[in-house]
Amino acid sequence: MASLVGSRVERKEDKRFLTGKGRYTADINIANQTYAIFIRSPHARAKIKKIDTSKALKASGVVDILTGEHIAQDKIGGLIAGWAIRSEDGSEMKCPPNPPLAKDNVNFVGDPVAVVFAETLDEAKTAAELVKVDYKELKAVVSLADTMKSEAIHEGIEKNLCYDWLLGDRQKVKEAFDKADKIIKLDITNNRLIPNAMEPRACVVDYNTASEEITCYTTSQNPHLSRLIMSAFGGVTPENKLRVIAPDVGGGFGSKINLYNEEIVCSWASKKIERPIKWVAERTESFLTDTHGRDHITHAELAVTNDGKFLGFKNETTANLGAYARVFGTVTPTYLFGPCATGVYVMPAAYSNVKAVYTNTAPVDAYRGAGRPEATYTIERIVDKAAIELGMDPIEIRMKNFPTEFPFKQTLVHQVDSGDYVAGLEKAKQMSDYDGFAARRKDSESRGKLRGIGVTTYFEACGIAPSPVVMMLGCGVGLWESAEVRFNPTGQVTVYTGSHSHGQSHDTTFAQIAADELGVPFENIDVVHGDTDKGTFGMGTYGSRSLTVGGIAIINACKKIITKAKKVAAKMLEASEDEVEFKDGEFVVAKSNKKKTIGEVAFACYLPGVRDEVKSPLPEGEEPGLKESAFFDPANFSFPAGSHIAEVEINPETGEVKLDKYTAVDDFGTIVNPTIVEGQVHGGIAQGVGQALTENAEYNEDGQLITASYMDYTMPRADDFPEFQLGFTCTKATTNPLGVKGCGEAGSIAAPPTIMNAVINALDGQEISMPATAEKVWKACKELKKSNAKAA
Amino acid sequence: MKTFNYHSAKEVKEASKLASSNSAFLAGGMTTIPSMKLGLATYKDLIDIKGIKKLSGIKASGKTIKIGATTKHVEVAKSKEIKKAIPSLAALAEGIGDPQVRNRGTIGGSIANNDPAADYPSACIALNAIIHTNSRKIDAEKFFKGMFETSLKNGEIIEAIEFEIPQKSNYQKLPNPASRYAVVGVYVAKYKRGVNVAVTGAKSCVYNAKDLAGALSKNFSSSAINNVKITSSGMNSDIHASANYRANMVKTFAQKAVDAC
Ligand SMILES: Cc1cc2nc3c(=O)[nH]c(=O)nc-3n(C[C@H](O)[C@H](O)[C@H](O)COP(=O)(O)OP(=O)(O)OC[C@H]3O[C@@H](n4cnc5c(N)ncnc54)[C@H](O)[C@@H]3O)c2cc1C
């Protein structure tokens, strides 16, 4: 039987998604359900003086209206930060309380203060307009650059500072800088983004008055963790009385890692009002209240020698947390950002210093890449700047500073197990016809256009795991993953995983690897995920961890199955275990034609006996049935890497930027399904290009989100893209038996600096910030014309 | 969205009679429905006019093209008669929004709404259009009165828009990257009597750029307007484009349009 790992198996998911048969949370309706509408703060910062629900309570169809007072009375806990980060001075980070419904203060536009439950959605909306909230408006803290000088938003959190974190050695860096021929300096902004999952958040909650069990259907990337937080921190109900189901989920990109206010409130309220509740966000609510991403201001310095060797690196960053610290909010700008900021290079000395601050804006949390796009943008932009200032080719300066031996001890934290950065860049150079660029530039110029080429080489740390390591760094939970593999008596297999698919095609990829391990046809394997009542437990999907952690748990459970099945097969075949070999789904006795298929063994495990004789196929002490589970906690992160090269053409008359060519060469180790991986790379690049060229979440000085609809927030579209050229190199990960590395975030990590380096190259080195919108580029083109005129 | 009464009219008279100060006609619904969903508009009655046969269709005569009010953008974009007589008008329709919008949105709805960034108003001005309503004929120049404001009276229904076929014409727009409405759109049309230059997106309402038109009437080449000064006063300014950028783009896109004629 040919191995399925590496083959373009068609997606099991396609039929359901392409024929409109997906079942999303909003598709779920429960008899007698009420409809929830949340009343949200229209102000970025205010004190709640009074909430008057008297008129609304009398409106037609209203079942109940709950506020922060009720939350406090019932002692329902708030939302939490999942990672505890310590400041350079040893002090613990400072986090404000974040009650599910604000009682005293609101801290961003969209902060929920009350909720209306009514018989119909219309009635809920009408009643919501009758709830009168009396606010005392306060001056909002919005500008990231000025936050630390502004009035404190949260009581007891001076300078709005959550932490002032350091990773690295300031003294060593100083020494390295003292020896440098040249110091390259760069100030950059990593623009704030709104994740924009296609499916808005939603939850449907059903409380069973007899069993006292709450079932919460929700749009989550990790239902098990949502249940844990709702029970342990929210105090909604004990874990055994809470079932969280995340059915089909239409994209998350990190924004659905968090447990949100609405899920806690609806779960708690369903028990209180003894009615099922349905809540579905409107798109405006998604814009306002889904966690946002990025939003850094960075000053970086790179110490170099005249011939382009890197000596040291400084990264001083202010990161916006928004109004509250959420699950990955505090770790994204620290351990997911700082270490990767030295890039793929040998960097003798470095530090990353990050100040994370609160502002009156939506909470900022992980967004595809989480920290690593920000890190890669920082280092790849400054490396290009160094190349410009030293008069070197951008490829040459990178090659000069690559490590060539693996494992490679990266400066700040990571022990990178495998990689070949030279091979990746060589391949990208050749695939992109880098050497033909000059001719293409000439051609563009003949048409009155400016052309630029941009290079990025990245590595990233993903597949976030080793529990002892992440817990040592402050994570509140271990980041292992679990799996359970069950044979049916008739030979089909169900795989239960703690990972969660919301676009990653786990049904297919996981079935492929299980098929290889068990020798069972792909068609006979089903993957089940997203339900806390099905499968053991799980840490969910984010940080490109599903295959490298969750997939390996599946493999380990399969291996346990084979171990047991082999014992049974040996007894059935009247051979010793050492004589039996398992291959392609069959247990064969060496040098004989005696064999049993794994299906026959599974059948025997469930029906262990025969007619007229007391005889069992099971060896002494072996239990009936064929089902195993495994938890996997890898020894390290996984470290995908790659080289991306893009070309842009600029119309200097209008400033419009056209992305003309995009080449991506990635090393994801072993690739299980190339089609799915290519899809992940495509999507990631599209989001990265969005960050570089079009997307920007903008608040005005009063803290109103002025890009709260698709009329103003510019998502990239299919016709903004050329055909991507994708290539792969492969160095297998040594930390898992499949040799796989994460692939989900690479595109969004590599694309922003690739595009911006190309734009800046077209502008002859002129600095420009993301997103490179038409007007900004047009202004830069005018400057360029002026300076060229001066030079001539 | 609040509840409302839905009426489907079969005749213009019937539709007009149903109208009140608290109603809207429902053509493509591409403006009305989103505004209602966002709570920006509420109506007691929506009067669907798509079923009125008389309001839809394209008629070409030697001198004009007459387009029924409920004709969809996609129909204008694909029309053989329009592509032949005024290709720039078909191209304009092809550049509106996205396929979903073009498959539902109508020319009558677009001009009745008079969004400052909509494309069609510029075509009406540049192509000397006459707006036919159920009670009168209105010159385009008099029809567009201000931001989201037209000379339509309550209950008055646009039946058709009649465009004068020019010798040459072209429309160029800098699309808003998010919505694809015009940040700046310039429609240039050349007639024997002279040249029209209509600008949309730049100010609170579409306007006839007389200075550009004057220069081009004398000399129909893009260099003829090199020295025409366009000030940024009165220009829109938003997150997508400053007033200064818009002022510059008016000239750039006028030149593009002339070059493409
Ligand atoms: C995402 C998106 C992108 C868009 N991009 C563009 C763009 O790039 N360029 C552009 O120009 N437009 C754009 N539009 C607007 C689009 O062209 C709409 O079709 C247009 O604004 C309204 O036409 P409608 O037929 O949908 O009108 P409706 O929404 O049905 O009606 C709009 C208004 O016009 C009135 N009305 C409709 N028909 C008549 C009539 N016959 N007589 C009198 N009053 C009438 C109604 O009472 C209502 O007040 C976009 C819209 C969307 C949603």
Q: Any residues with CB less than 8 A from the CB of A678 and at least 6 apart, and which?
A: A726
In a shared domain, residues A783 and A741: yes
Compute the mean pLDDT over every residue in chain B, rounded to the nearest whole number. 97
Cβ separation of A698 and B38 shorter than 8 Å? no
* pLDDT band, residue A464 (cuts 50/70/90): confident
Query: Taking CA atoms, what residue in A is nearest to B178?
Result: A714
Residue A501 pLDDT greater than 80, yes or no = yes
Q: Whose CA is nearest to atom 8 of ligand 1?
A: B181
Instruction: Give tens-digit pLDDT for A391-401.
Output: 999 999 999 99
Cβ separation of B245 and A715 shorter than 8 Å? no
Residues of B in contact with A709 (CB under 8 A): 38
Question: Is the beta carbon of B158 within 6 A of some atom in ligand 1?
Answer: yes
pTM check: above 0.90: yes
> By the 8 A CB rule, do A331 and A83 touch?
yes
In a shared domain, residues A627 and A643: no
Instruction: Give tens-digit pLDDT for B232-256.
Output: 999 999 999 999 999 999 999 999 9
Residue A759 Cα, gap to closest chain B Cα (Å): 18
In a shared domain, residues A625 and A765: no
- Report how far ligand 1's centroid is from the alpha carbon of B54 (Å): 19
**Secondary structure of chain A: what % helix, strand, coil (to 5)?**
30, 25, 40
- Greatest extent of chain B over all pairs of C-alpha atoms, in Å: 57
Q: Where are the domains of chain B?
A: 5-164, 170-260
Cβ separation of A712 and B240 shorter than 8 Å? yes
In a shared domain, residues A623 and A530: yes
CA distance A246 to A532: 9
pLDDT of residue A107: 98
Q: Any residues with CB less than 8 A from the CB of A221 and at least 6 apart, and which?
A: A246, A249, A252, A254, A256, A257, A500, A502, A540, A541, A542
Question: Is the beta carbon of B92 within 6 A of some atom in ligand 1?
Answer: no
Q: Which two tokens stand for residue B236?
A: 């829109």
Question: Is the beta carbon of B131 within 6 A of some atom in ligand 1?
Answer: no
Of all helices (H) and strands (E), which one includes residue A193?
Answer: strand A182-193
- In this prediction, the answer to ipTM > 0.90 reads yes
* pLDDT band, residue A726 (cuts 50/70/90): very high
Task: Identify the domain containing residue A619 by its residue range.
Answer: 480-632
CA distance A716 to A693: 8
Q: Enter the DSSP assignment of A225.
A: H
Would you call B182 an interface residue with chain A, using a CB distance cutoff of 8 Å?
no
Compute the mean pLDDT over every residue in chain A, rounded to the nearest whole number. 97
Cβ separation of A710 and B178 shorter than 8 Å? yes
Task: Work out whether the CA dihedral A429, A430, A431, A433 comes out positive or negative.
Answer: positive
Q: Which two tokens stand for residue B219?
A: 């000399």
Segments in A573-699 forming alpha helices (H): 598-606, 674-689
* pLDDT band, residue A792 (cuts 50/70/90): confident
In a shared domain, residues A684 and A585: no
CA distance B181 to B233: 21
Would you call B100 an interface residue with chain A, using a CB distance cutoff of 8 Å?
no
pLDDT of residue A54: 98
Residue A638 pLDDT greater than 70, yes or no = yes
Instruction: Give tens-digit pLDDT for B163-199.
Output: 999 999 999 999 999 999 999 999 999 999 999 999 9
Residue A738, sorted as left (phi over 0), alpha (psi -120 to 50) or beta, turns out to be alpha
pLDDT of residue A396: 98
Tell me the one-letter amino acid at A226: S
Would you call A345 an interface residue with chain B, using a CB distance cutoff of 8 Å?
no
In a shared domain, residues A560 and A593: yes
Instruction: Give tens-digit pLDDT for A546-574.
Output: 999 999 999 999 999 999 999 999 999 99
The closest of B114, B115, B96, B117 to B241, measured between CA atoms, is B117
Question: Is the beta carbon of B7 within 6 A of some atom in ligand 1?
Answer: no
Cβ separation of B178 and A122 shorter than 8 Å? no
Question: Is the beta carbon of B169 within 6 A of some atom in ligand 1?
Answer: no
Tokens 């874990």 found at:
A239
Residue A1 pLDDT greater than 70, yes or no = no
Of all helices (H) and strands (E), which one includes residue B85?
Answer: helix B80-85
Give the count of alpha carbons within 13 A of B179, CB side only.
Answer: 19
Tokens 């679990």 found at:
A482
> How much is the CA Rg of chain A, to the nearest whole Å?
28
Question: Is the beta carbon of B161 within 6 A of some atom in ligand 1?
Answer: no
Residue A367 Cα, gap to closest chain B Cα (Å): 21
Asked whether residue A174 is domain-assigned, the answer is: no
In a shared domain, residues A626 and A649: no
Which CATH number characterizes residue A609's domain? 3.30.365.10
Residue B249 Cα, gap to closest chain A Cα (Å): 7
Q: Which two tokens stand for residue A475?
A: 């994570």
Asked whether residue A166 is domain-assigned, the answer is: no
Cβ separation of A712 and B239 shorter than 8 Å? yes
Last residue of a domain, one of A632, A659, A679: A632
Count of Cβ atoms closer than 10 Å to residue A709 Cβ? 15
Give the position, in ligand 1's atom list, of the atom nearest the Cα of B181: 8
Which CATH number characterizes residue A99's domain? 3.90.1170.50
In a shared domain, residues A268 and A302: no
The closest of A381, A554, A348, A359 to A458, measured between CA atoms, is A381
Q: Which of A155-159, A238-242, A463-467, B203-207 has the lowest mean pLDDT?
A: A463-467
Of all helices (H) and strands (E), which one includes residue A168?
Answer: strand A161-168
Would you call A607 an interface residue with chain B, using a CB distance cutoff of 8 Å?
no
Residues of B in contact with A710 (CB under 8 A): 178-179
Q: Enter the DSSP assignment of A670.
A: S
Question: Is the beta carbon of B30 within 6 A of some atom in ligand 1?
Answer: yes
Cβ separation of A773 and B240 shorter than 8 Å? yes
Span B170-260 CATH architecture: 2-Layer Sandwich (3.30)
Of all helices (H) and strands (E), which one includes residue A456?
Answer: strand A450-459
Rounded alpha-carbon distances, angstroms, from residue A177 to A375, A409, B205: 20, 21, 58
Beta strands in A534-623 (DSSP E): 580-583, 586-589, 595-597
Query: Taking CA atoms, what residue in A is nearest to B252?
Result: A653
Residue A218 pLDDT greater than 70, yes or no = yes
Asked whether residue A733 is domain-assigned, the answer is: yes
Number of domains in chain A: 3
Residue from B240, B242, B256, B258 whose CB has the most chain A CBs within 10 Å, to mutate: B240
pLDDT of residue A775: 98
Query: Which residues in chain A (430-469) have CB-CB distances under 8 A to chain B?
Result: none
Residues of B in contact with A282 (CB under 8 A): 37
In a shared domain, residues A722 and A688: yes
Of all helices (H) and strands (E), which one includes residue A276?
Answer: none
Axis-axis angle for helices A552-572, A598-606 (nearest 10): 80
SS3 for A80? coil
Cβ separation of B177 and A710 shorter than 8 Å? no
Q: Whose CA is nearest to atom 20 of ligand 1?
A: B110
Q: Of B7, B13, B22, B31, which is best to mutate to test ligand 1, by the most ligand atoms within 8 angstroms of its C-beta?
A: B31
- Burial code of A397-406, b = ≥16 C-beta within 10 A, e = fewer? bbbebbbeeb
Residues of B in contact with A284 (CB under 8 A): 38
Mean pLDDT of the region A577-598? 96
Residue A160 pLDDT greater than 70, yes or no = yes
Query: Taking CA atoms, what residue in B is nearest to A710?
Result: B178
> By the 8 A CB rule, do A583 and A503 touch?
no
> By the 8 A CB rule, do A646 and A750 touch?
no
Report the topology of domain B5-164.
Answer: 3.30.465
Residues of B in contact with A654 (CB under 8 A): 174, 249, 252
In a shared domain, residues A548 and A572: yes
Question: Is the beta carbon of B43 within 6 A of some atom in ligand 1?
Answer: no
> Quick one: three-class SS letters along A307-358?
CCCEEEEEEEEEEEEECCCCCCCCCCCCCCCCHHHHCCCCCCEEEEEEEEEE
In a shared domain, residues A531 and A592: yes
Query: Which residues in chain A (253-282) have CB-CB distances under 8 A to chain B?
Result: 282
Share of chain A above pLDDT 70, in %: 100
CA distance A353 to A356: 10
CA distance A686 to A52: 46
- Report how far ligand 1's centroid is from the alpha carbon of B41 (Å): 14
Would you call A10 an interface residue with chain B, using a CB distance cutoff of 8 Å?
no
Asked whether residue A175 is domain-assigned, the answer is: no
Mean pLDDT of the region A720-739? 97
pLDDT of residue B38: 84
Query: Peptide bond before A407: cis, by omega within 30 degrees of 0?
Result: yes
Residue B58 pLDDT greater than 80, yes or no = yes
pLDDT of residue B39: 85
Residue A776 Cα, gap to closest chain B Cα (Å): 9
Q: Enter the DSSP assignment of A591.
A: T
In a shared domain, residues A33 and A129: yes
